[in-house]
């Protein structure tokens, strides 16, 4: 290549505690190309982007932008170098107008600089016209839809004269028409000589738009290919092509009794529709799918956080109405939510209070506290789950991430549930704690619980589940047997060939 690349990563490494997110990734972006970045959830795509935008400082390696080598970028050097990123979730100020948002991005800073309101408005109108926006520059951002906000982001990127535009799953919330418009903008940017890093899970988009493809897997680059040299099955193989690196506890035969049965359930509010499956007692039912495919939303429906407005939920054969978390708990459904830093363990409360938080009926049997019982329950779970803590009275915030997660799991076991829904139970947990949690989940199933396991970790879902339900677009796209191949799960997850015309 005679033309020097716009942006090059050389052997970038980055770890978060024990998690090695990037392990020597090299990547280059040429002027006038769309370079797709592919990989499973957790392969390192987002980390790589954040290195490019200066949000993360890499542990090793070099970044070459223009003619200069950097060990790390800062948000301002990245911006000065012409790097702009359009995130999945637009990062605009909702209370300001479109023109004000664009002004904040594009005009020079300085607290005492006088605002040229007319110039700002004219500029904004021009940029919005450039991306084909149909809303006013005076509209408040909070009144815009997600795709419209995305257009504002793109307009800002273009307005800043960015030569390197990174798009993180830009089509995930777009309709087909909006998608076409976006593709038009991307092609125009490319033809003007900019380089675009394009991240998407939709393989057919890659074929349509990309010039080259780089596949990441487990924090490493598997390779860079010309887009017309690899077809979707080959890409899937590249994304998942690995042996399961961990041993999972052996599956046990489930009993015949149905624990929970979902018949055509849906909730329009969260975009879940027509989901049917049954989980037997003693079975682990995995739920696979992309982020946003409706797995967490389904869990919220089953737990009564967004009550079902269609279909039926049956527990051990009996139809039940679950209108609130309290009702779910009463029926023996427990839910260990995703994002435990926000809603799992309550960091300020002692471990013992955390464990008994949902089981108040057990520790306040006659209305007042049975302190001995609380201590007994706390100590039981600390021992059973091997929670490493200074004691039941230590604040949950003093524990490590994995142990906090165990505390959150313990809270739901303490209510003696019959159905246990686990949402990303091992997310952000180190390998050792992960294996312990896996063993624990299997043990729980063996005691007769019906377990629904949501996970974005493909080996985990395949290794742990007796059957795997795959969700796509708020629906259950299919049910695969346990031990299905990673490619089979990935294919069902992406629904690559058959999703023409879908929103």
Q: Which residues bind other proteins (CB under 8 A)?
A: 16-17, 19, 21-22, 39-47, 169, 199, 201, 219, 291, 303, 305, 325-326, 328-329, 335, 337, 339-349, 353, 357-358, 360, 363-364, 367-369, 371, 395-401, 404, 411, 424, 427-428, 456
- For the CB of residue 372, give the shortest distance to other proteins in the complex, in Å: 13
Instruction: Evaluate whether 39 touches 201 at the Cβ level (below 8 Å).
Output: no
Closest to other proteins by CB, 144 or 429: 429
**Which residue's CB is nearer to other proteins, number 136 or number 400?**
400
**For other proteins, which is the closer residue by CB, 40 or 100?**
40
φ, ψ dihedrals at 267, nearest 5°: -150, 110
Find the helix or strand (DSSP H, E) in which 298 lies.
helix 295-302
The token pair that represents 345 in the structure block: 């363990």
* In the complex, minimum distance from the CB of residue 181 to other proteins, in angstroms, rounded to a whole number: 24
Residues facing residue 452 across a β-bridge = 285, 421
Say how far apart CA 490 and CA 226 lie, in whole Å: 22
In the complex, minimum distance from the CB of residue 324 to other proteins, in angstroms, rounded to a whole number: 8
Name which of 48 and 451 has its Cβ closer to other proteins: 48
Q: How far is the CB of 21 from other proteins (least distance, A)?
A: 4
Q: How far apart are CA 417 and CA 339, in angstroms?
A: 21
Alpha-carbon span 144 to 115, nearest angstrom: 24
Q: In terms of DSSP H, where are the helices of 9-116?
A: 45-53, 75-80, 98-106
Two tokens, residue 38 = 């592919």
**Nearer of residues 144 and 458 to other proteins, judged by Cβ:** 458
DSSP letters spanning 174-228: --HHHHHHHHHHHHHHHHTT-EEEEE-S-HHHHHHH-SEEEEEETTEEEEEEEGG
- Give me the sign of the Cα torsion angle 313, 319, 324, 329: negative
Residue whose structure tokens are 């009564």: 304
**What letter would DSSP give residue 25?**
E
Beta carbon of residue 125, minimum distance to other proteins (angstroms, whole number):
35
Closest separation between CB of residue 374 and other proteins, Å? 10
Beta carbon nearer to other proteins, 144 or 490: 490
For other proteins, the closer of residues 146 and 371 by Cβ is: 371
Q: Are 422 and 454 in contact (CB under 8 A)?
A: yes
CB of 389 to other proteins, least distance (A): 12
**Residue 457 Cβ vs other proteins, minimum distance, rounded to whole Å:** 9
Using the minimum distance from each CB to other proteins, give the nearer residue, 88 or 252: 88
């Amino acid at each position: 290549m005679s033309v020097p690349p716009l942006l090059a990563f050389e052997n970038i490494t980055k770890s978060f505690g024990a998690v090695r997110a990037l392990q020597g990734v090299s990547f280059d972006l040429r002027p006038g190309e769309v370079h797709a970045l592919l990989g499973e959830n957790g392969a390192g795509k987002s980390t790589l982007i954040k290195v490019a935008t200066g949000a993360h400082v890499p542990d090793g390696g070099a970044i070459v932008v223009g003619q200069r080598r950097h060990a790390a970028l800062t948000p301002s050097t990245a911006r000065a170098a012409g790097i702009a990123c359009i995130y999945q979730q637009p990062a605009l100020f909702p209370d300001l107008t479109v023109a004000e948002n664009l002004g904040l991005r594009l005009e020079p800073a300085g607290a005492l600089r006088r605002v040229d309101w007319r110039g700002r408005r004219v500029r904004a109108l021009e940029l919005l016209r450039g991306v084909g926006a149909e809303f006013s520059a005076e509209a408040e951002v909070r009144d815009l839809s997600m795709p419209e906000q995305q257009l504002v982001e793109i307009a800002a990127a273009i307005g800043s004269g960015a030569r390197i535009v990174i798009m993180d799953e830009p089509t995930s919330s777009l309709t087909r028409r909006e998608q076409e418009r976006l593709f038009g903008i991307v092609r125009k940017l490319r033809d003007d000589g900019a380089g675009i890093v394009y991240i998407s899970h939709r393989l057919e988009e890659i074929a349509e738009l990309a010039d080259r493809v780089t596949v990441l897997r487990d924090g490493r680059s598997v390779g860079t290919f010309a887009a017309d040299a690899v077809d979707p099955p080959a890409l899937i193989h590249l994304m998942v092509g690995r042996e399961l690196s961990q041993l999972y506890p052996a599956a046990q035969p489930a009993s015949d009794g149905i624990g929970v049965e979902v018949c055509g359930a849906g909730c329009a509010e969260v975009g879940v529709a027509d989901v049917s499956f049954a989980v037997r007692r003693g079975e682990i039912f995995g739920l696979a799918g992309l982020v946003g495919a409706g797995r967490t939303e389904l869990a919220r429906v089953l737990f009564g956080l967004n009550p079902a407005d269609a279909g039926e939920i049956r527990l051990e054969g009996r139809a039940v109405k679950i209108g609130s978390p309290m009702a779910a708990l009463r029926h023996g459904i427990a839910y260990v939510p995703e994002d435990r830093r926000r809603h799992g363990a309550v960091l300020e409360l002692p471990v013992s209070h955390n464990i008994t938080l949902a089981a108040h009926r057990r520790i306040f049997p006659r209305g007042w506290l049975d302190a001995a019982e609380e201590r007994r329950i706390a100590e039981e779970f600390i021992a059973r789950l091997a929670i490493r803590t200074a004691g039941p009275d230590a604040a949950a915030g003093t524990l490590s991430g994995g142990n906090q997660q165990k505390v959150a799991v313990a809270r739901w076991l303490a209510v003696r549930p019959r159905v246990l829904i686990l949402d990303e139970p091992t997310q952000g947990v180190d390998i050792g704690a992960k294996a312990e949690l896996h063993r624990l989940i299997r043990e729980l199933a063996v005691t007769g619980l019906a377990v629904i396991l949501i996970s974005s970790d493909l080996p985990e879902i395949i290794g742990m589940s007796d059957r795997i339900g795959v969700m796509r677009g708020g629906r259950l796209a299919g049910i695969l047997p346990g031990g299905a191949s990673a490619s089979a799960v990935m294919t069902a997850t992406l629904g690559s060939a058959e999703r023409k015309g879908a929103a």
